[in-house]
Amino acid sequence: MPISAFAHALRAFQSGDLTQDELSWEIDRQLAIEKASPVALMEILRVQQVAEPLASDAHDTIMSHLEEWPRDPTIVTGLRSPQRVARSPRAGVGDILQGRFSLVALIGEGGMSRVFKAIDLRRVEAAAPDPYVAVKVLTEPFSDYFGSIVALQREAHKLQSLSHPNIVRVIDCDRDGHTVFMTMEYLAGESLQKRLRARAAAGLDEAAALALIAGVGSALEFAHRNGIVHGDLKPGNIILTERGPKVIDFGMARFIARPGDAPRVEPPSQSTPKAVTPRYASPEMVAGRDPEPADDVYALACIAYETLTGRHPFGRKSDPQARDPRALPPRPDNMPRHRYTALIRALAFDRKHRTASVRQFLEQLLGTRRAVLAKRWAWFAAAAVAALALALAAASYRLVGERHVVPPLPSVAGIVPGAAIRDCPSCPTMRVLPAASFQQGDDGAAAESRSQRPRHRVAIAHPFAMSLHEITVADFHAFATATRRDMNGCTIYDGRWQYHPDASWQAPGFPQEASHPVTCVSWDDAVAYAAWLSERSGHLYRLPSASEWEYAARAGSDAPPWGDGSRACADANVADASAAQRYPGWSVFACNDHFVNTAPVGSFAANAFGLSDLLGNVFEWVQDCWHDDYTGAPVDGSAWQGEPCTEHELRGGSWFTEPRYVGPAYRDRFESAYRSSATGFRLVRELGQ
């Protein structure tokens, strides 16, 4: 490596052309990939400091970065024998695991693992903008019994399904000789434990504390709905990032202690299991019992009390076995009674007396249930006028079986409800839907809906037109050709979800024809397509609001879509028997739709509105920003925006989606730039324009 490269990077940093993070990446690149000597880089820094001094804090940060790199010359020059890693699980900075993950800094250490900041050399080859991953190396001896690594991979696969903004993303697990490790999303931030220590028993600002608790609670609730209990929640497992808290280590500590099908060894009566932290563990966890959601509720309540007050609810008595079950944590003078009551209920020593779910705990702690009740009367008053205006139209519906048939209504701009319209040869065909009111939210079809989203009455004020099916590859091709928009990079699935920089809407990881729904499109891409189509056609096209989408998906019915799921394959392309043959172990519908991935649009029965593929095939973007529930949501069918809007809703499920997540009420969310091979969209066209 030319010695001048580091000096050039230092000058660029001093001139403002490089940020601190970019300089940090350049240092790591030169040390880990170019095999530069940290001693040589320190000398360049010294010379540069004499010629053009950096600010003292910047200089100290760079020097610390270089000093933390191993000084062993066999490591610095890259001559460390790979056999050294294979003989011991104590991998260290300077090691390269599987010839791919270069460990550049130790960022955390616990009783059973060490966590490193690492450079993914494949990402470097692909010129990815962020080459960092976190690598958790297990330091406990990992059993060599047959199938143990298979069991760990199976556990990692479960954790990969936890796609949530407040949960660290697990990428994969592997081994290098006897070194067993897991790769995860790298988080730039500090732990809640470190933040609380820095606050010197003062706690966090109340608003910040409550937002943090809500974020962590949302992560736990999502995991519980997916059958995963954390089991060792503590401040050290909560990382504070610019985009909110991230929970790490879901269920892994207990798995490492007893992997897969290894025989259970009961702890001695006076010992505490290694896989839990007594200070935040429920009495049941300390006793070695299997974790349940109520144990995460207990840990979250401990953290909530400490975050709000700066003190642990049970003071210095870190082990539940040393606490008096009758002694209640003191109520701080400035803590509302409902908040204190919520904490006491969640801290009950016995599971059967403890708050049963995270959702219930958050409602009680944050007072959201009372707020909903208070707002409900105001909503009734606000909705009364809209309900009266829609009464005649609603009364004209007649029930047929489980569906409502929509009679003709007065035309809007010469277009009557039920009509199909197409504005140009390259425009999608649209169906006109009437204005109406309906009950949005939980329909009993999905367990997560019942716990996450109460029902919400919506009165859609104006008729609108929606595309008969998802936007197709052919539809999208015209836009991509005309705009030459860069849309490479997509997360695709072939046994696991993985980002591929060369994947795109043209190459989503499986064959697509012109009539298939376009995939690997982000929310931003979909909005750009709608704007292009609006300009081309002279009519206003946009993504549907969540209310419009759910109204169209229900098509006048409040009944769950398929009961036991046996009819699902007649109506939708979902995870089914054909998918299970390709990917054994999937949870699938008890039917066969004969498609593993996407199906041509319109391959399945249309709903009562004449719309196809609202459920299954691909998830569909909607306009709305993500909100945890419907408290404060618009009642007129418009999109629910908000600032900051870091994530947008997805609706309807996909070819990948298991039964419990396919239904009109189910929602998912991702960042606006996220692309996956299970994600597409459809459009709404406003009428009268």
Q: How does the average pLDDT of the chain come out, rounded?
A: 77
Point out the residues that are catalytic: 232
* Closest residue by Cα to residue 467 from 345, 293, 325, 613: 613
Q: Domains in the chain, start-ordered, CATH in brackets? A: 1-71 (no CATH), 80-186 (3.30.200.20), 196-262+275-366 (1.10.510.10), 469-686 (3.90.1580.10)
Calculate ∠ Cα 240-335-282, nearest 5°. Answer: 60
Quick: pLDDT tens for 448-482.
433 344 567 899 888 999 999 999 998 999 899 99
CB distance 601 to 472 below 8 Å: yes
At 564, is the pLDDT very low, low, confident or very high (cuts 50, 70, 90)?
A: low
Instruction: Name which of 96-100, 221-225, 358-362, 410-414 the model is least confident about.
Output: 410-414
Res 545: pLDDT:
95
pTM: 0.48
Q: Is the pLDDT of residue 682 over 90?
A: yes
CB distance 459 to 386 below 8 Å: yes
Most confident segment among 170-179, 401-410, 444-453: 170-179
Q: Spell out the residues 6+ positions from residue 296 whose beta carbon is closer than 8 angstroms to its own.
A: 220, 224, 229, 230, 231, 233, 358
d(CA 631, CA 26): 46
Write the DSSP assignment of 496-519 as a string of letters. Answer: SEEEETT-BTTBSSS---TTSBP-
Q: Exposed, middle or buried by CB within 10 Å (0-12, 13-18, 19+), for 461?
A: middle
Quick: pLDDT tens for 301-337.
999 999 999 988 887 665 565 566 666 788 888 899 9
Quick: pLDDT tens for 9-30.
888 888 877 777 778 777 877 7
The whole-number average pLDDT for the span 583-609 is: 85
Q: Is the pLDDT of residue 689 over 70?
A: no
Quick: pLDDT tens for 477-526.
989 999 999 999 999 998 889 999 999 999 999 988 888 999 999 999 99
Q: How does DSSP classify residue 609?
A: T
Res 243: pLDDT:
75
Res 126: pLDDT:
66
The whole-number average pLDDT for the span 192-210 is: 86
